[in-house]
Amino acid sequence: MQLPRWWELGDPCAWTGQGRGTRRMSPATTGTFLLTVYSIFSKVHSDRNVYPSAGVLFVHVLEREYFKGEFPPYPKPGEISNDPITFNTNLMGYPDRPGWLRYIQRTPYSDGVLYGSPTAENVGKPTIIEITAYNRRTFETARHNLIINIMSAEDFPLPYQAEFFIKNMNVEEMLASEVLGDFLGAVKNVWQPERLNAINITSALDRGGRVPLPINDLKEGVYVMVGADVPFSSCLREVENPQNQLRCSQEMEPVITCDKKFRTQFYIDWCKISLVDKTKQVSTYQEVIRGEGILPDGGEYKPPSDSLKSRDYYTDFLITLAVPSAVALVLFLILAYIMCCRREGVEKRNMQTPDIQLVHHSAIQKSTKELRDMSKNREIAWPLSTLPVFHPVTGEIIPPLHTDNYDSTNMPLMQTQQNLPHQTQIPQQQTTGDFRLTTFQRFEASIMKLFIRF
């Protein structure tokens, strides 16, 4: 916390004149100094005490104006300061707030709000909440303590409770005293109780609701629970009618006669209203039957002692590795026997294959090899696949038609019978229809003659 300049000089005296002069302190100056010092330390160490009742809604507003005077430079009376201020709240000695207490602040330029419904377990126990204010412009901080003294309420809890879902409100808007008072007035006009209290307020986001789109001024929605000491009115009971339940299942708005009393300011989703009658609720507590897995009251966990016997895992290791390894070895031997020892062999296959089929197969292999060689080198000799392998009549091997230095650029792609000097002319048969054998038929005849020869 930054103190005034005259506090840094060492005593509450002011310097006079243009330069260094004598120190003097007037009574007015002394009074101002004491008042200022008292106000500073009172703000730093001030605590607030509040006395909410158990089971009744508690709302405490953290006003920014209350903390502005603690951040330097200290504003003068009437001066407007609009620094962004945020708050952090936690239970003293703990990182978070109690489970029943919530906190909300929309922007650094709006007030923060602490709200919730105190529980009966905390009655008589002071709950100290640490409130730390952060000035986002100067990065100064100020801390206050809020002491919540929870008191026991009469007729707690109220026997009849109703929870409404208001669609056109956010939680900070509903926590305003004027708005909450208007809602309780509307409920009292419909319910007509002798005693009516707001029990709790919960944002729809805390119930799994979605953040609304920033269009058409949509709101998050808020759940408001109220309690009364008289049974529910006939208007509130209309929600339980079969017709209205059917309309709610079809996502239609039910027909409620008293809805017009809320419609002027509050849009209530009557399908989400909850009516709870505490007088008819049966206790669901079941006595715990203690067994082997449940410790008795006051029991403690006793870890095992350090004097444990060592265990030999060698046998487990062998069983874990030896058995799968043996099974894998047997399967490998069976597969090796099938793949290696049961093969017929290439020689037996060739003996059972006709010679003409072997010749064709060999020719295809040679042609494939030559084509692959040609794709690698375009300047190789004339491919042997274009030459006859043997003489069609004598069966002798025919030498190449051309030498290696023969120019093949002028050779036609397909040679006729007259262009082949070593080819034997087969007499062509003529019939009355002047029919001639084709080249393919002549090739088949040559193959048949070779087959007969062998």
Q: Where are the domains of the chain?
A: 48-150, 160-277
Nearest partner of 227 among 150, 156, 169, judged by Cα: 156
- Bin 389: left if φ > 0, else alpha if -120 < ψ < 50, else beta: alpha
* pLDDT tier for residue 5 given thresholds of 50, 70 and 90: very low
Residues 83, 68 contacting (CB under 8 angstroms): yes
Question: Percentage of residues in the chain with pLDDT exceeding 90?
Answer: 27
Which run of H or E residues covers position 357? helix 355-376
**Residue 154 CB neighbours (<10 A):** 7
**Residues making up the chain, counted from first to last:** 454
Residues 6+ apart with CB under 8 A from 207: 223
pLDDT of residue 77: 67
CA-to-CA distance for 226 and 274, rounded, in angstroms? 11
- CB-count exposure of residue 256 (10 Å: 0-12, 13-18, 19+): buried
For every residue of 199-229, which 3-state class applies, written as one string? EEEEEHHHHCCCCCCCCCCCCCCEEEEEEEC
Give residue 452's pLDDT: 59
Residues forming a β-bridge with 32: none
Higher pLDDT, residue 286 or 343: 343
Average pLDDT, the chain: 75
Tokens of 219: 């709101």
pLDDT for position 41: 36
The continuous run of DSSP H or E covering 143 comes out as: strand 141-149
Each residue's pLDDT tens digit, 366-411: 888 888 887 776 655 555 555 555 555 565 665 655 555 555 555 5
The DSSP bridge pattern shows strands 141-149 and 47-50 to be parallel
| Per-residue pLDDT reduced to its tens digit, 125-178 | 889 999 999 999 888 899 999 999 999 877 677 889 999 999 989 999 999 989
Burial class (CB in 10 A: 0-12, 13-18, 19+), 172: buried
pTM over the 0.75 mark: no
Task: Tell me the C-alpha distance between 187 and 335, whole Å.
Answer: 86
Decide: 87 and 134 in contact? Cβ < 8 Å: yes
> In whole angstroms, what is the distance from residue 258 CA to residue 234 CA?
10
Strand partners, 222: 166, 203
108 contact partners, CB below 8 Å, separation of at least 6: 84, 85, 86, 136
Alpha helices in 49-131 (DSSP H): 64-68
For position 138, what pLDDT does the model report? Answer: 86
Euclidean distance between CA atoms 325 and 319, whole angstroms: 10
Higher pLDDT: 181 or 411? It is: 181
Of 78-87, 311-320, 350-359, 398-407, the one with minimum mean pLDDT is 398-407
Architecture of domain 48-150: Sandwich (2.60)
